[in-house]
Amino acid sequence: MKLYYAPGACSLAPHIVLEEGGFTYESEAIDLRGNRTTSSGKDFSEINPKGYVPTLVLDDGQVLTEGPAINQYLADRVSEKKLAPPNGSMERYRLQEWLTFLGTELHKSFSPLFNPAASDDWKKASMETLDRRLTYIAQQLGSKQFLVGDNFTIADAYLFTVLGWGQYVGLDIGKWPALKEYHGRIFMRPAVQATLKAEGLIPSA
């Protein structure tokens, strides 16, 4: 398998899942502005016509896109790692619930803050939405170790990734102690550390 990613982007989540799952895989960064792979200079649109990450090329050549789909595919490949509850269980539907919320209500609310063309009013409205969404997540998380059940799941990889964007847009998650503690705890997981180093987000030494 080969993961195409952009450092620190939403592709960080499946990158973490690949490490957590103990997969043998390759990875290559994408220059999204030039829409080319950074090492080979290949036109990324030939790999994924959507033009964005994450993109996972499977061993049989099939291409899988969209983070939640990739993450569930990977989790189901290593069910013994418990990165996702069993299919058909209520916990699996809770996982789906969180993945949908994180994608549509949290992830997308960050988009205007990274868009140079977004108006100040749009950015202000997005920050207000993020405040409400993060307050809700902090309340739901409380003192729990993970979002779903008693194990680290793909939902945690996704939430950790999105929470990390706050530092780039002036959003201090320290306002929500439960989120700050959660983010710090996930940050220390060996697989997360390995992924952050691989993407050049923290020093490798």
User: What is the arithmetic mean of pLDDT over 114-136?
Assistant: 97
Chosen CATH of 90-188 out of 1.10.3720.10, 3.30.160.60, 1.20.1050.10, 1.10.340.30: 1.20.1050.10
Is the whole model's pTM more than 0.95, yes or no?
A: yes
**Residue 39, pLDDT score:** 87
**Look-up: residue for tokens 């916990």?**
91
User: What is the arithmetic mean of pLDDT over 99-106?
Assistant: 98
Q: Which residues make up the CATH 1.20.1050.10 domain(s) of the chain?
A: 90-188
Amino acid, res. 75: A
User: What is the arithmetic mean of pLDDT over 18-36?
Assistant: 94
The residues near 92 (Cβ < 8 Å, ≥ 6 apart) are 84, 85, 86
Q: Which residues make up the CATH 3.40.30.10 domain(s) of the chain?
A: 2-81+191-198
Whether the pLDDT of residue 205 is over 90: the answer is no
* Topology (CATH) of 2-81+191-198: Glutaredoxin (3.40.30)
State the average pLDDT for the chain: 96
- Nearest Cα to Cα of residue 25 among 83, 78, 84: 78
**pLDDT tens track for 36-91:** 998 888 999 999 999 999 999 999 999 999 999 999 999 999 999 999 999 999 99
**pLDDT tens track for 194-204:** 999 999 999 98
Confidence of residue 172 (pLDDT cuts 50, 70, 90): very high
Percent of the chain scoring above 90 in pLDDT: 94
